[in-house]
Structures are given as C-alpha cells and as structure tokens.
Amino acid sequence: MKKSWIVARHEFLVTIRRVWFVVSTFIFPLFFLGVGVAVLLLTKETVEQAQERVVQRPLGIVDDWGGMKSDPKGFKILRYLGEEEALQALQNEKIDTFIVLPKEYLETGHVEVRTTHKPSILAENRSLTPPGLKPWILENILEGTDPEKISRAKNPLLLQQIFLEKDGSVSSRNLEEALKRSLMGYAFFFLLFLSIFTASGYLLQGMAEEKENRVMEIVLSSITPNELMLGKLVGLGAAGLLQLAIWVSMGVVGVLFFAVQIVLDPFSFVYCFAFFILGYILFGSLMLGFGALGTNFRESQQMASLWGFIGSAPMFAQIVLVEDPHGTVARVFSYIPFTSPVTMMLRYSIDPEGMPWYEVPAVITILLVTIFLALRLSAKLYRVGLLLYGKRPSIREILKWVFTSAN
C-alpha cells in the first residue's frame, strides 16, 4: 500500500506540472469566460442601439387598408400614399423602416416590414418596429369599442400554469425551474468527462512512453501491477479533483458575474459530487485497464475513449430526462451502471423530491458492485497489457482475459 501512495504522489505531481494541464485548468476557462463577457457586452450594446434607433427614427406607414386614423403614442410616424413614395423616403434616409398594410389586411392580417437594417441574430424582428406598433394597430381596429375591452384585447391571456399530481394536489414541479436546476447536473456531467479525458490522456501517454522505453519492466521488478494501477488511479483522481475544485470556483464566479439563474441546492451539490466520484472511479479504472492493451498512445486512447462515449449515452435522451426525470427511460438508465452516474445527477438536480426513497441506495449499491468488478477486471487487463510490446491483442484474447479474471 505504501508503494501505491508513492506512485500516486508521483503521478499527481507529474500531471499537475504538465503544461497542458495548466492550460486546460486555467487558460481555457479564463478564455471562455473572457469571450462570454465580450459577447454579452457587445450583444447588450447592439440590441440597445437598435432599440434606441427604432424609437428615435420615425416609422413610415403605407395604409392601403385605410383604417389607421389615429396617431400613435410613444413613437413618430410619417404617412405615405404609396410604396414608391415610401421607398423614395427610404433612399433619402428620411426613414429606415416602413410598414405596408394591404387592402385585405382585415382578412389576412399580413403586414409587410421593409427596412434597410441588415439581418441580425442579436436584434430580433420585433426590434425593427417600435414596441407600441401592435397596440396602436389594435386600437384602430377596435375604434369605437369600449376602452376597457380594448385594454383587455391588447393582452387577452395571462396564463398561470398549475401542475397537479395524480391525487389532485398541487405539484411543485415546474419546467422552467427544472431547466434551471438541471444546469448543475449538466455542469457535473461535463466536468466529469472533461476531467476524465484530460487526466487519463496524460496517464495513457505516460504509460505508452514507459512501455516503449522498456521502463515498465524495471518498475514492475519493485512493485506489483495491482499496486501500480492503484497508485496511478489515485494520482489521477487527485489531479481530477484539484481540477474540479478550480473549475467549480471559476464557475461560481461566472454565475455571479453573468447573473445566471441557476438553482443552487447544497444537498443536490453533495449528491452530484458523490456520483461524480463514483463515475470517476468507474470510468477511470476501465479507461486505465483497457488503455493498457494498446501498443502505442493512439491505440490506448481509442480503447479508453469507448467508455467515455458509453457513459455519455444519457445525454442523447436529455430532453426526455428533463421533461420526465422519473419516467421509464430515466429509470432504465439509472439502473445501468455505465449510464447511472450521469442520469442520477440529472434526475436529482431536476426533481429530488419525486425520486423514490429506495432508488438512490439501490443504484449506489449496483454502482459500487460494478466498480468492484471493474477494478478487478481492469487490474487483470492492466497486468497483462503492461507486458504487451508491439503486439495488438485480438478480441478473442481480450475476452479470454476477461473471463479468466472472473474466475
């Protein structure tokens, strides 16, 4: 055990001193944070400028319908007898936008908006016309009607959705709140696989170099393969936890800066963190064991990355998981050990109260048993794979080692 701690300390120090580890831990998050700040400021400025320009510049009106008798409040208009006259004013820069209400407006409801503004994702279509345009048209349609009815017609529906449980009681579930709560689950998912792929990449690269340089034979003369694997796995996990702590700290700063509406529940955080650790051990051990079968770094990475894709399978059903976190699909993914870490993080962060009390300990038990078997399997593959030099194992040989390890 003492030798394993020595290996763990060595792997941890070597990993955190790598240039790529420092870049991925500090530079990348700061870069994306900086880009996010720049985009936010530019977007805010662009939209505000567009809205201010729309309100200040007069709006051209071509009323072929003939029903726009009154003048609007809150913005200026210039009336034109036809489209040619409005286009001439547009070319002379007296206006930059005009609308055309055709004769059949009451039948079709179509209103053309013609503008010199360039199409923009940041400025939506509604920013091309003043906010008070729709109420003004509605007032002219309902001219002579009771003012109270006109006021209600401007905003006819104020829907309040109330979700009920099967027994008729009011449910605490809310789709908007569920999306906010799910952000924590998504964050832990991305952190889990980003940290696993990052740290395992360093480990597999070092292992490939040790095999190619024949250093592995010297190492195995003083330590058992199981002790070596345990030490490397612990060192890998420590580096991943350090990276996680730094990313979470930066994420909290980002949430506070951008004022992101996210539901932060301490119990959900602890719960997601627990499944993060379990998932890290499971996939880290499998990646390490199967990665040892490669004859070089590229082959090792290909074999190890397979488990990452398997673990991320629930993300392909994320819409179903968010809308129905305790449905059949969610429960099936929860009881499959390779998909349960991600699924349970999402389910609990979305709706912790709706999860049956027995499901969490049952899933954790299955996951712990799977981790135990995965560690034994990976230890066997790791022990055999360390001595493979230039020979690519066949699927038949791998299956033979797998079943041999089970006996």
pLDDT at 121 over 50: no
Query: Is 150 inside any structural domain?
Result: no
How many residues are listed for the chain in this entry?
Answer: 407
pLDDT at 343 over 70: yes
Tokens of 112: 């053309």
- pTM of the predicted protein model: 0.61
Q: Residue 125: what pLDDT? A: 45
More confident residue, 405 or 357: 357
331 lies in the same domain as 228? yes
DSSP state at residue 59: E
Lowest-confidence region among 144-158, 163-177, 224-238 = 163-177
Give the CATH number for residue 131.
3.40.190.10
Task: Tell me the C-alpha distance between 362 and 349, whole Å.
Answer: 18
Q: SS3 helix, strand, coil % of the chain, rounded to 5?
A: 70, 5, 30
Tell me the longest C-alpha to C-alpha distance in the chain: 98
Which of 144, 163, 193 represents a domain boundary (last residue)?
144
Query: Is 163 inside any structural domain?
Result: no
pLDDT at 296 over 80: no
* Residue 178, domain extent: 2-38+174-406
Which of 93, 126, 144 represents a domain boundary (last residue)?
144
Beta-sheet pairing, 97-101 with 59-63: parallel
Which residues on neighbouring strands pair with residue 342, listed in sequence order?
A: none
More confident residue, 161 or 348: 348
Query: Is 50 inside any structural domain?
Result: no
> How many other CB atoms sit within 10 Å of the CB of residue 260?
11
pLDDT bracket for residue 362 (50, 70, 90): very high
276 lies in the same domain as 197? yes
Please give the tally of structural domains in the chain. 2
Q: Are 180 and 259 in contact (CB under 8 A)?
A: no
Query: Is 340 inside any structural domain?
Result: yes
pLDDT bracket for residue 256 (50, 70, 90): low
Q: Residue 56: what pLDDT? A: 67
Q: Which residues contact 347 (CB under 8 A, 6 or more apart)?
A: 185, 321, 325, 326, 330, 334, 355
71 lies in the same domain as 6? no
Average of pLDDT values for 205-226? 72
Most confident of 121-135, 175-189, 374-388: 374-388
Query: Is 317 inside any structural domain?
Result: yes
Query: Listing from the earlier edge strand, what are the strands of the sheet with 59-63?
Result: 77-80, 59-63, 97-101, 112-115
Task: Tell me the C-alpha distance between 289 and 300, whole Å.
Answer: 10
Beta-sheet pairing, 59-63 with 77-80: parallel
Write the pLDDT tens digit of every residue in 12-23. 888 788 777 787
193 lies in the same domain as 332? yes
105 lies in the same domain as 197? no
Q: Residue 407: what pLDDT? A: 46
Task: Tell me the C-alpha distance between 172 and 353, whole Å.
Answer: 9
DSSP state at residue 327: S
Nearest CA to 286 out of 260, 308, 262, 264 is that of 308
124 lies in the same domain as 263? no
Q: Residue 237: what pLDDT? A: 77
Query: Is 149 inside any structural domain?
Result: no
Phi, psi for 63 (deg, rounded to 5): -100, 75
More confident residue, 17 or 256: 17
Q: Residue 62: what pLDDT? A: 92
Geometric angle at alpha carbon 391, from 376 and 309, rounded to 5°: 55
375-391 per-residue burial string, b: 16 or more CB within 10 A, e: under 16 = bebbbbbbbbbbeeeee
18 lies in the same domain as 80? no
Task: Tell me the C-alpha distance between 195 and 24, whole Å.
Answer: 10
Lowest-confidence region among 100-104, 109-113, 209-213 = 209-213
Nearest CA to 98 out of 64, 49, 62, 60 is that of 60
pLDDT at 318 over 70: yes
Specify the residue for token string 């720049």: 38
Q: Residue 406: what pLDDT? A: 45
CA 277 → CA 7, 70, 188, 189, 368, distances in Å?
20, 67, 10, 11, 11
